[in-house]
Amino acid sequence: MPPGPETTADDTSAPVGEAAPDAPRPPRPSRTVRLGRLARREAPRTGLAVLAGLALALSFPPYDLWPLSVVAVAALALLTRGRTFRQGAWTGFAFGLPFFFVLLRWLRVVGYDAVAGLSVIEALFLAVLGAGLALVSRLPGWPLWGGCLWVAEELARDRLPFGGFPWGRLAFANTASPFTPLAALGGAPLVTFAVALAGGLLAFAPAALAGARVSAAREAGTDAPEAPGTSGPAGRGPGVVRAALPGVEALALAAAVVLAGYAVPVPTKADDTVDVALVQGNVQNPGMDFLGRPMMILDNHVEATLALAKDIKEGRARKPDLVIWPENSSDLDPFRYGQAYARIEEAVKAVGVPVLVGALVDHAGKSGYVDNNGIVWDPRTGPGASYTKQHPVPFGEYVPFRDQLSKVITRLQRVQRDFYPGDHTGVLQIGPARLGDVICFEVAYDEIVRDTVKAGARALVVQTNNATYGRTGQPEQQLAMSRLRAVEHGRAVVTVATSGISAVVAPDGEVLRRSEEFTRDVIEARIPLRDGTTVADRVGAGPEWALAMVGLLSCAAASLIGRRARRDEPKKKGQQ
């Protein structure tokens, strides 16, 4: 076919508006210029992500603004919607860093470098979450897949590295909210999923409305929606109303998810009861040097117990069935120091009932290691059964790679001996009650508490020492975890702290009694003992792994669909 009038066989000129092939290309902007342009382009979105992260921090104790957890999740979903993998990762990191920095400010007693370092590590998990949210936002039903990804992120963060750090789970911001009863069905992971799903549905509504207006504008042959008040496609026409219905339905479904917990029965009926006394002896020096001189903390708890014994003898107090002391209530190993042993014996015999004593004890099988123990001390037979903390805190109770890191971070030398992990659950017979002992941060770990209940604990005891982090918000955050565990397992939970907060939590999560921080106090209460188990106990970690796998598979599906679309795009252009 002969060439047409506009194109000849010898014509090598470039199409109109394009540079000739041999024309000099404009110089490529420098890396600094490109980064500057990128920063300016991403600044508004990054700023909104920071604000959303701060809002999420305010949903946790001591602020307790739980609705902000749903709002923050919705904000992150919108900010990552339709973004690339890298953009989503950056948005997630910008969201996570301020969130964890505010949430973990109680670590400032160690140093703000510890706050910043741990916040960066934890924010990296949210960076991966942000990337995943960006991927699945292209799939139908993306709020559901986003909720599953939140569970997957928490599953990984609860276990990695060095056994994980569960602080900041969405469930722990919702220990006194409409979501809380869901813990009785699927534990903390189900609460997290419900919060994330509600947030995703909340985000879907404005996204659907915006999409409806754009579609209506295209159908009308315009580039933008018509002005408000018109009856055109982008105004209040029936087409827009129909297109906006999915957003309205998403809001209704979000409200249903929020309120679903009210339909979940929380088992609280007692099979038996037991009278307990919780002794909070107090410390003299809050912060890193709370121990003071040797025997000081032990003497405080002995004197408080002797005062209780006197009140019982004189009829001012009812004799309990057992007494509970907190973690580290004996600051010296009673089996090594006779003075400490004698003081504990004095207090236990005076009150006349078994006492659960928290003590640091030299490990019997490995020299140089120490056990963080809860010891049942009987007034007649002395020390008996004990529980050793299974999950020591890395860099607080033991130092990974000690020889290498302690040379670089000299502060780690303050952890003079590593704690040795226990190898069994904390079910102990203390007087007439079979209780499950959980020590300090262990209350944050699902499997430790669940295994203790399944091993036969009829109520839970959390022995803790929060003196280092007093008046920082950390004790309130830990008490919130006790409230969630009570509902999750249908068990009363008593938290006993050296300096507060000591508390009694009913099986429905209600705080019945609590102490003030940095005061000497004795809390007396009658708590229910239960033998029945919840659905969460019976299904274990199954829902968590199932939801996490669905989230990961949704990412894989989104990636494959996106790759196929990019591969087919040149073919479509060729056909056009």
Among all residues, which ones are annotated catalytic? 327, 389, 440
The neighbour count for residue 85, using CB atoms within 10 Å, is 15
Rounded distance, CA 319 to CA 524, Å? 9
Instruction: Give the helix ranges, DSSP H, for 423-504.
Output: 446-454, 474-489
Q: Which of 311, 332, 323, 325 is nearest to 280 (CA)?
A: 325
Buried b (16+ CB within 10 A) or exposed e, 436-450: bbbbbbbbbbbebbb
3-class DSSP assignment, residue 500: coil
Angle between helices 85-103 and 31-58 (to 10 degrees): 50
Rounded distance, CA 275 to CA 323, Å? 9
Instruction: Name the β-bridge partners of 394.
Output: 398
Rounded distance, CA 274 to CA 490, Å? 16
The CA-atom distances, in angstroms, between 220 and each of 211, 229, 241, 243 are 14, 16, 15, 14
Number of H helices, E strands in the chain: 14, 12
Name, in order, each residue with C-beta under 8 angstroms of 318's C-beta and a sequence gap of 6 or more: 275, 312, 524
DSSP 117-156: HHHHHHHHHHHHHHHHHHHHTTSTTHHHHHHHHHHHHHHH
3-class DSSP assignment, residue 277: strand
The neighbour count for residue 209, using CB atoms within 10 Å, is 17
**What is the pairing mode between strands 493-497 and 459-464?**
parallel
The CA-atom distances, in angstroms, between 439 and each of 195, 494, 497 are 28, 12, 10
